[in-house]
Amino acid sequence: MPTILVLVDHADGVVRKTTTELLTLARRAGDPVAVFLGSGYESARETLAAYGATKVYVAESSDFGTYLVAPEAEVLAQIAATTEPAAILLPSSPDGKEIAGRLAVKLQSGIITDAVDIDADLTTTQSVFAAEYSVTSRVTHGTPIITVKPNSAAPEPAASTPEEEKVTVSISDTAKRATVVERSERETTGRPDLAEAAVVVSGGRGTGGDFGPVEALADALGGAVGASRAAVDSGWYPHAHQVGQTGQTVSPQLYIAAGISGAIQHRAGMQTSKTIVAVDKDPEAPIFAMVDFGVVGDLHTVLPRATEEITKRQG
């Protein structure tokens, strides 16, 4: 079986769901071999084994957090040179895409970004023009480097006992030219990560800037908060929460859109959600054409009542 290298996306060893998706996709094309860069491998071991990694290259070094992503690209290229993988999969996060680009230059390989599917023969699918078209393509030069959007595959567990190989990290001075001087913590809301949440409640221009009812419903359901671009552009919610073509792609079990008309660019980021509910005061709002359940009404009335009812049922 060919080796498919998967770069592990993690925070101090806590593996993000995107990695379990990449391991699932990698299994279609060969043996998924994980590459863990950073610190906290002990915390990651169990998840990587549970999702079928046959081997893990472990390169633990604090340098990875110190010099932006150049060291990651360098070490990944070193591992690729010795393993000669059939492909390298990375998450379509800002860091993942930058590492992929640098890696493609180092390996003189073709690259495909933002794939939403990968076949056994490494043919990839990309969703373009607000998901109106699908493009299938293959890398024909070098080692295919593919970044995959979050929620592109349902993670499927496949227990394994991966072999572990420690990698001695040697990072060139060139890769150390940009140093992180300061980090500021993202707001800690206690809510799940938007891209990984099973429930997302999003607010749009219809909130009038008051996201209180949206956040309260999200909290009652244990979900994340999303926002339309109109809400983000108005300064009502941070861009990190924007759902859509120029925001995040989400695919939760339940997506609730409140005061969002359903523009094509918004739909591009949420249309694969399993159950879609919309609350909008305009019965002609385009969002109602794609929902499983629609409520015509003022979100400032409907959402608090839904929150109250859910909270009551939860006892």
- Residue ranges for the known binding site for FAD are 205, 228-229, 242-246, 259-266
Instruction: Considering only the stretches 106-114, 131-139, 172-180, 279-287, report the one whose residues sit in contact with ligand FAD under the rule CB under 6 A.
Output: 279-287
Question: Using CA atoms, how far apart are residues 291 and 289, in angstroms rounded to an integer?
Answer: 6
Q: Sketch the per residue contact string, 100 through 129, with ligand FAD: x for CB under 6 A, - otherwise.
A: ------------------------------
Which pair of structure tokens corresponds to residue 212?
């209180």
Q: Across-strand partners of 200? A: 224, 255
Site string for ligand FAD, 157-196 (x = CB under 6 A): ----------------------------------------
- What is the C-alpha separation between 282 and 133, in angstroms, rounded? 29
Q: Which stretch binds ligand FAD (CB under 6 A): 60-68, 121-129, 162-170, 278-286?
A: 278-286
Q: How far lies 254's CA from each of 106, 274, 293, in Å? A: 41, 6, 11
Closest contact distance (angstroms) between CB of 228 and ligand FAD is 3
Backbone angles phi, psi at 3, to 5 degrees: -85, 135
**Contact region with ligand FAD (CB under 6 A), list: 1-9, 34-42, 170-178, 238-246:** 238-246
Q: How many CB atoms lie within 10 A of CB 218?
A: 26
Sole binder of ligand FAD in the list 134, 136, 246, 275 (CB under 6 A): 246
CA Rg value for the chain: 21
> Smallest Cα–Cα separation from 149: which of 99, 108, 83, 195?
195
CA proximity to 291, closest of 280, 306, 268, 275: 275
78-86, 180-188, 193-201, 241-249 -> range binding ligand FAD (CB under 6 A):
241-249
Binding window for ligand FAD (CB under 6 A); candidates: 18-26, 49-57, 87-95, 275-283: 275-283
Q: Which is nearer to ligand FAD, 192 or 259 (CB)?
A: 259
Q: How far is the CB of 90 from ligand FAD (least distance, A)?
A: 22
The residue ranges of DSSP E strands in 138-271, in sequence order, are 145-148, 163-166, 199-203, 224-227, 254-258
Helix (H, G, I), strand (E, B), or coil: what is residue 31?
A: strand
Q: Which residues are annotated as a binding site?
A: 205, 228-229, 242-246, 259-266
Question: Least CB distance from residue 266 to ligand FAD, whole Å?
Answer: 3
From residue 284 to residue 303, the character string flagging contacts with ligand FAD as x (rule: CB under 6 A) and all else as - is -x------------xxx---
Runs of H (alpha helix) within the chain: 17-29, 41-50, 70-83, 94-107, 212-220, 229-233, 264-267, 299-313
Residue 142 or 209: which CB sits closer to ligand FAD? 209
> Which of the residues 206 through 235 are near ligand FAD (CB under 6 A)?
206, 228-231
131 touches ligand FAD (CB under 6 A): no
* Residue 153, number of CB atoms within 10 A of its CB: 21
Nearest approach, Cβ of 226 to ligand FAD (angstroms)?
9
The answer to whether residues 306 and 218 touch, using CB atoms and an 8 Å cutoff, is: no
Q: Rule CB under 6 A: is residue 281 a binding residue for ligand FAD?
A: yes
Q: Interface with ligand FAD by CB under 6 A: which residues?
A: 204-206, 228-231, 242-247, 259-261, 263, 265-266, 269, 279-282, 285, 298-300
